[in-house]
Structure 1
Amino acid sequence: MANNRPNSIFKRRKMIVIAVITACFGFALGATEWAQADSPTAPALSISTNTAPQQALVALPDFTPIIDRYGPAVVNISSTTNKVIHQQNNPFPPNSPFYQFFHHFMPPGQNGPGPQQHEKIQSLGSGFIISPDGYIVTAGHVVRGANHIVVTLTNHHAYPAKLIGLSVRYDTALLKIDAKNLPTAPLGNSDDLKVGQWLLAVGAPFGFYNTVTQGVVSAMNRPLPDDEYIPFIQSDVPINPGNSGGPLFNMKGQVVGINDQIYTNSGGYMGLSFSIPINTVMRVVQDFKNHKAIQFGYLGVEVQDVTPQMAQALRLKEPVGALIASVMPGSPAAKAGIRPGDVIVTYNNNPVYNVGQLPPMVGNTVPGTRVKVGILHRGTAETKEVLVTALPKNMAEQTSSQVPTSPAKVGKVSRMGIHVQSLTPIIEKRLDVHHGVVVVGVGEGAAAEAGIMPGMIIQQIDQRDVNSPAELERIVAGLPANQPIPLLVRQGKASVYVVVTLPKK
């Protein structure tokens, strides 16, 4: 057995050597065959080719017809704005801890702002021609405050432009250049857009003129916090600074929106683009061309979202609609019998799923129109007919959250952990309120957990009006424990519903 082991190893090595020799021999034979194939007497190698046109395996949209036909209607817009800068003689701003230190060393008369300097700020945007005689639509922020506007066509002809009209609420502007027989872009119907449809954007991102990008509709009627009157088209079309004001085309080559803004953390495109629907744009543009003042529909309510907890407190089946926190006295809503605590679920036969959908619907309603408003009043469905009026021009916003106090009877609501006092004539006049109690002290308990703070006015609890501390204490005493209860509070001139959960007695 001891002699067999070395022999077996040797045999394996021998087999390996033979295998290597065989492989080398085979390679040599293969090389000989290739050499023969390359020789003049060898037959030529035949390669099969098919020159017939092949059909695409995947059908993708071809955007070239849109660009060839309507691309010349897209323009580049450059604007110049003069900005006044006040030079500070003191090198530090007034809120700096070093400001006062240098203030004492400045010569008399040089402690205030220094001389003015004018700085020119240039910006780039896009737009599109809507009529052969030179009317051009763009985004309002592209030309807002501009002293000089220049429009450049795709043939590189440049024209000074006149601003015909600009709406900040709709972020839309209408320009006019002195030219004729210009190419135009046809307008579509943005109400016909569906999620998933292809879109095409043309503009000048970062100054790169006539750039084309594509994507699909991601969502419709998307509300944004700073533009409550615009039901945005959300898409994944790549747009960047400089695209603003450019057209958004559908596959028919029709303009269905103007590119307006993006959601970004970096300043560049991150997959969320927002465009103003062309139907909204043209409503403003027609008023500009007719030299009419732009009017917005007015309902006269303050609304908030219906959270799942609030829906439970209001005894609703699902958290949908816009919860009315307050109704302006004498407003269209007040005249129609709409009250705080009602939930708007339809407007003019269109569903209202969340609070962001309602302002664009109301704002785009022509004043003088009668609309049907579907509400839930204490969970019961009702329909109110409202005569929508124009938004008052003198509506002022109240930013103060402080309520003036004066001697009044103070009551304690132990179950909520608060001290309240009745309204005084000063409070009623200052805040234009006519019922409720003022919170003057908050301890540990249900009110503190709900976010109630001193200075707030409690107007309702469980959708029942509160007129005195004694009435609030009486209502609270009869409410169930460990269940969400709607509580209407007012801070400054803004009303909002919160949810409070009361402990056991």
Structure 2
Amino acid sequence: MFIEIFESAMNSKLKIKSLGILSLSYLILLMTPLVQASSSLPDFTELVEESSPAVVNISTVQATESERNSPLGQFGAPDAEDIPEIFRHFFRNLPEMEPRPKRAPQSLGSGFIISGDGYVLTNNHVVQGAERVLVRLNDRRELEARIVGTDERSDVALLKIEAEDLPVVKVGKARDLKVGEWVLAIGSPFGFDHTVTAGIVSAKERALANETYVPFIQTDVAINPGNSGGPLFNLDGEVVGINSQIYTRSGGFMGLSFAIPIDVAMDVAEQLKSQGHVSRGWLGVIIQEVNRDLAESFGLDKPAGALVAKVLPDSPAQAAGLLEGDVITAFNGRSIALSSDLPHLVGRVKPGTEAEMDVIRDGQRKSIKVVVGLLPDEGQELANLSPVEPATVNRLGLKVEPLAEPYREKWNVRSGVMVTEVADGAGARAGVVAGDVITMLNGIQIETAEQFGEVVDELPTDRSVPMRIVRRGSPLFIPLKLAQN
């Protein structure tokens, strides 16, 4: 009896021991990939040690609103204690003459040194409106900086501090970056100097609203207020971008950060240094995105390219023979996937240089050479409109009228008809509204209301066709499709 109990216990002990060995082995197998993964993660310590001395904190002193508006403030009115006693009673009622606290510099951003003699790159919005700019170096020295030049369109500013033999960053090439590659940022978020954060490149050549001339690098590197103007490094310790913007709903980091490619920033810096302003290339076209329906209406294989909605008069595009309705698919050998790809490619071309475009016109591919012009400083103004006179009905459910001469001059429209009423039908489904001026339909220039009706009568019902309209002064192509009876 005891022998059986002993044998049973021993067998149970052996089983438990065996299970323990198996569990331990399984745990080791599970841990092995994690250990290997952690050992393969990049070590940023050497990069930070070598690069951080060239990263600076930027503080500014901003003029207050009262000082800007004060007739004495613009001349730097003295404090009361600086005025001799005999004169003080003359200034007793002037608020500018009363003792006031000295304004302390506020830490607003970051920057980095690009030359040993003291040139510093940062964002335009970091120093915009500043009375004084202070640069704090890695060794805790604070030096007043001179603003050499700023460029609002690219959000780049070039500063100069008086110093010699300064540490400098290594400048890389943003175009060599690959999506998924490790990158690292050094800056002063919330005023905490030389804070290091890391992540990967999430996307390249990203277009942002109202940022036409910068193909941003998107990353998931933690960027917060104060990081603006700081460098973005690759694993070789080279600067590949300037941290500029974040996408946020909370005011803090949410995993979407955007950096200005260093290629763009250095080109801007060179122009600011040599001529004090930035010159950009210009075609003189208004473009729009090509969606699926427009691609079908223009006979394209896929929705890609920049659709020319308007060719501006006396522009390089007009001189080159570019037409409204052309789809630009490549510029100087670079493919145009999105319409937002075109402006920054054109902008980086030196004015007066000949460039080549690939376009699709009437379903046919052709090459057009253009001499790129100089981007003007002022944009075009849009006008309001109001329809007049009786109209003609057509099968789109639209009522149109001849375009009056004053509107032709106001909006620079050569020909077309004005929509005065929109009923249920293909026009309404396409998004046409009263007040739109229809200038082209299915590739045919519209001259009169009668001709427009004839073109409408000949429209096919099996596919989308392009319609060009001018709405509140802005040209736009929309796809139009008649329902089959």
Opposite residue 462 of structure 1, the aligned amino acid is N
2:48 corresponding residue in structure 1: 67
Q: Distance in 2 between matches of 1:178 and 1:311?
A: 56
Q: Distance in 1 between matches of 2:60 and 2:380?
A: 32
1:321 aligns with 2:305: yes
TM-score, normalising length: structure 1: 0.80
1:457 aligns with 2:437: yes
2:448 corresponding residue in structure 1: 468
**For each residue in 1:213-246, what CA deviation from the matched residue of structure 2 results, as whole angstroms up to 9, or x when unmatched?**
1111111111111211001111111111110000
CA contact (8 A) 2:151 2:277 kept: no
Of all paired residues, the percent bearing the same amino acid is: 41
Give 3-state SS (helix, strand or coil) of 2:424's partner.
Answer: coil
**For each residue in 1:261-286, what CA deviation from the matched residue of structure 2 results, as whole angstroms up to 9, or x when unmatched?**
11111111111111001110011111
> How many positions carry a matched residue from both structures?
427
2:59 corresponding residue in structure 1: 78
**For each residue in 1:407-437, what CA deviation from the matched residue of structure 2 results, as whole angstroms up to 9, or x when unmatched?**
4x63221x11111111222111111111111
* Residue ranges of structure 2 left out of the alignment (5+ in a row): 10-34, 68-94
CA contact (8 A) 1:412 1:469 kept: no
1:189 aligns with 2:173: yes
Opposite residue 385 of structure 2, the aligned amino acid is V
CA contact (8 A) 2:185 2:196 kept: yes
2:260 corresponding residue in structure 1: 276
CA contact (8 A) 2:110 2:122 kept: yes
Q: 1:421 aligns with which of 401, 413, 428?
A: 401
For residues 141-160 of structure 1, what are the structure 2 equivalents within 5 Å?
Answer: 141-160=125-144
Give 3-state SS (helix, strand or coil) of 1:290's partner.
Answer: helix
Opposite residue 476 of structure 1, the aligned amino acid is V
1:403 corresponding residue in structure 2: 385
For residues 328-347 of structure 1, what are the structure 2 equivalents within 5 Å?
Answer: 328-347=312-331
Report the aligned-residue RMSD: 2.7
CA contact (8 A) 1:484 1:499 kept: yes
2:272 corresponding residue in structure 1: 288
**For each residue in 1:302-350, what CA deviation from the matched residue of structure 2 results, as whole angstroms up to 9, or x when unmatched?**
1111111111111111111111111112211112121111111101000
Name the CA shift for 1:503/1:195 in 2 (closer, same or farther; >3 Å): closer
Select the structure of larger CA radius of gyration. Answer: 1
Q: Distance in 1 between matches of 2:328 and 2:254?
A: 34
Q: Distance in 2 between matches of 1:334 and 1:56?
A: 57
1:106 corresponding residue in structure 2: none
Q: Distance in 1 between matches of 2:271 and 2:365?
A: 37
Q: Distance in 1 between matches of 2:295 and 2:193?
A: 51
1:486 aligns with 2:466: yes
For residues 95-494 of structure 1, what are the structure 2 equivalents within 5 Å?
Answer: 122-398=106-382, 400=383, 402-407=384-389, 410-413=391-394, 415-481=395-461, 483-494=463-474
CA contact (8 A) 1:405 1:427 kept: no
Q: Distance in 2 between matches of 1:55 and 1:412?
A: 73
CA contact (8 A) 1:346 1:374 kept: yes
TM-score, normalising length: structure 2: 0.83
1:83 Cα deviation from its structure 2 partner = 4.0
Q: Distance in 1 between matches of 2:398 and 2:37?
A: 73
Point out the structure with the larger helix share.
2
Give 3-state SS (helix, strand or coil) of 2:452's partner.
Answer: helix
Q: Distance in 2 between matches of 1:291 and 1:284?
A: 10
Name the CA shift for 1:57/1:257 in 2 (closer, same or farther; >3 Å): closer
Give 3-state SS (helix, strand or coil) of 2:358's partner.
Answer: strand
1:123 Cα deviation from its structure 2 partner = 4.7
CA contact (8 A) 1:481 1:504 kept: yes
Q: Distance in 2 between matches of 1:258 and 1:238?
A: 14
CA contact (8 A) 1:488 1:496 kept: yes
